[in-house]
A and B are shown apart, each in its own frame.
Chain A
């Protein structure tokens, strides 16, 4: 156990195991995320990164283990309750609300205080403050010009950024980003990574899942590496990437892919 895992973090994952039929997607995974940290969660395809994020947000229920947010056990809580405790998720597979415009997608998230209780929600019609703040988040991720666009007509790169803007609009304590750079070109990806780093500097705690390792190494302060559902590495980015087990996991998978 490293010293980092022992300090009480903002998020503590202990012994989380997830099985899909015969596949063990996560096998007894433990680690902690400290307040104010920008943690990179990396690993080859199928390593279990997305599954871990889905377990954290409550989309799937782990077969074993526990998840604590700010000291509170959230393992049994429904998704919306975890979001209200401060989780914000940008998903790998984009899920925009297709019946709404881009800005309406984000304004709904920005109005999380308004939608807390149905009856209170019924009393209020005013949305201008939430739309204003939504526009701010769209601008932050660089897609303010398509604010009034329909998600159905937008390219993947834009929808990925919509996911991120929507997660940000929840004003989370812990931002979970699943491949936010996918679908972006070099320049856009670097800009998005900068935005994430800037948010982190302002105090936001982030878990970043990314295959774009150069950006990960550029912005992350610490890495956790998963392979085949197990945690195979953790620590300072350069040290982790130099680790033999980690290199083997990446190289082995690539060699396997090349052979296939």
Chain B
């Protein structure tokens, strides 16, 4: 594989794939269920640290990855339970707090490597090309799962909760239970993405999972259109490779993504998907109007 497309492209596609996984994971919570999260990086970090610690201790790669996913999902359930009584605007603050709390705690833990983090994380043993294929397959599976979920009765109930929680309850939807389910799934998949990230770059530190990372993932979801699967995939793929092409972006990430977030909210609240849908509709109207 490496021979066919080159080492640079392999690492590019791997990074893209991991970003797509992370963006789709947040999309389950924010896009589908309408629950904002500004602390998604904490769950990515939990999965990354969990998986890396265990494989470093000798666990097989797959087992470490699965454990990291489970750790993130459990943490997500706990945070979800704690924020059930919290209403929309406040949820942003709560999840942001969780993000900072995670960083603060990890920095202090000697056994997690403290500020230095964990280095020389073992290789997954698949080769660079094989690892890329694994990441792409997982991203594709999550995309298919997302599309299925959206069309299922779970997606239907999520739509109602995202629209108006009180009305959802009035038609018998246990909003709390659905929100917890969204949180557990979304944070678990974030943990999976985190584990994949850790075994891709082989080095993690608290800084990899800061506020900027949370905002980056949220930007991908918002720019993608908050919900539409293909929109989020495109946004995640493009935004994740920008730093490869323009080195300076790394320095200005917060400014750039913050600006993009604002611009999308202000000018195209439907994001990329909404913009395209509007464009298509306009084009059709014009064609219909033409003699």
Decide if A and B are genuine partners: yes
Tell me the B37-88 residues at the A interface (CB within 8 Å).
none
Q: Is the CB of A99 within 8 A of B166?
A: no
Select A97's contact among B159, B172, B174, B176, beta carbons within 8 Å. B159
Nearest A residue to B182 via CB reads: A118
Q: How many residues of A contact B (CB 8 A)?
A: 36
Tell me the B149-173 residues at the A interface (CB within 8 Å).
149, 151-154, 156-157, 159-160, 162-164, 166-173
The tally of CB-CB contacts under 8 A between chains A and B is: 90
Q: In whole angstroms, how far apart are the Cα atoms of A116 and B178 in the complex?
A: 10
Q: Given the complex, which residues of A lie within 8 Å of B151, measured CB to CB? A: 125
Is residue A247 within 8 Å, beta carbon to beta carbon, of the partner chain? Answer: no
Q: How many residues of B contact A (CB 8 A)?
A: 27
* Minimum distance in angstroms from B75 CB to a CB of chain A: 19
Q: Is the CB of A83 within 8 A of B153?
A: no
Is residue B282 within 8 Å, beta carbon to beta carbon, of the partner chain? Answer: no
Q: Given the complex, which residues of A lie within 8 Å of B148, measured CB to CB? A: 125
Tell me the A79-130 residues at the B interface (CB within 8 Å).
79-81, 83-84, 89, 91, 95-100, 104, 108-109, 111-112, 114-116, 118-125, 127
Q: Given the complex, which residues of A lie within 8 Å of B284, measured CB to CB? A: none
Q: Is the CB of B163 within 8 A of A111?
A: no
Q: In whole angstroms, how far apart are the Cα atoms of A161 and B176 in the complex?
A: 28
Q: Is the CB of B152 within 8 A of A97?
A: no
Provided the pairs A97-B164, A98-B163, A99-B162 are in contact, do residues A109 and B172 lie with their beta carbons within 8 angstroms? yes
Is residue A205 within 8 Å, beta carbon to beta carbon, of the partner chain? Answer: no
Q: In whole angstroms, how far apart are the Cα atoms of A104 and B181 in the complex?
A: 23
Q: In whole angstroms, how far apart are the Cα atoms of A123 and B152 in the complex?
A: 7
* Minimum distance in angstroms from A143 CB to a CB of chain B: 18
Residue of B159, B174, B175 contacting most chain A CB atoms (<10 Å): B174
Provided the pairs A83-B172, A109-B171 are in contact, do residues A122 and B159 lie with their beta carbons within 8 angstroms? no
Is residue B177 within 8 Å, beta carbon to beta carbon, of the partner chain? Answer: yes
Provided the pairs A80-B175, A95-B164, A97-B163 are in contact, do residues A115 and B156 lie with their beta carbons within 8 angstroms? yes
Q: Is the CB of A125 within 8 A of B152?
A: yes
Bitwise, A161-179 to B at CB < 8 A (1) or not (0) is 0000010011000000000
Provided the pairs A100-B159, A122-B153 are in contact, do residues A108 and B166 lie with their beta carbons within 8 angstroms? no
* Minimum distance in angstroms from A104 CB to a CB of chain B: 8
Select A108's contact among B156, B169, B178, beta carbons within 8 Å. B156
Q: Given the complex, which residues of B lie within 8 Å of A121, measured CB to CB? A: 152-154, 156-157
Tell me the A53-98 residues at the B interface (CB within 8 Å).
57, 59, 78-81, 83-84, 89, 91, 95-98
* Minimum distance in angstroms from A142 CB to a CB of chain B: 21
Q: Is the CB of A99 within 8 A of B172?
A: no
Nearest A residue to B157 via CB reads: A115
Q: In whole angstroms, how far apart are the Cα atoms of A99 and B156 in the complex?
A: 11
Tell me the A122-168 residues at the B interface (CB within 8 Å).
122-125, 127, 166
Q: Is the CB of A80 within 8 A of B152?
A: no
Q: Is the CB of A83 within 8 A of B152?
A: no
Provided the pairs A95-B164, A99-B162, A99-B163 are in contact, do residues A112 and B152 lie with their beta carbons within 8 angstroms? no
Q: In whole angstroms, how far apart are the Cα atoms of A121 and B157 in the complex?
A: 8
Residue of A100, A123, A125, A127 contacting most chain B CB atoms (<10 Å): A125
Which A residues lie at the B interface, using CB under 8 A? 57, 59, 78-81, 83-84, 89, 91, 95-100, 104, 108-109, 111-112, 114-116, 118-125, 127, 166, 169-170
Which B residues lie at the A interface, using CB under 8 A? 148-149, 151-154, 156-157, 159-160, 162-164, 166-178, 181
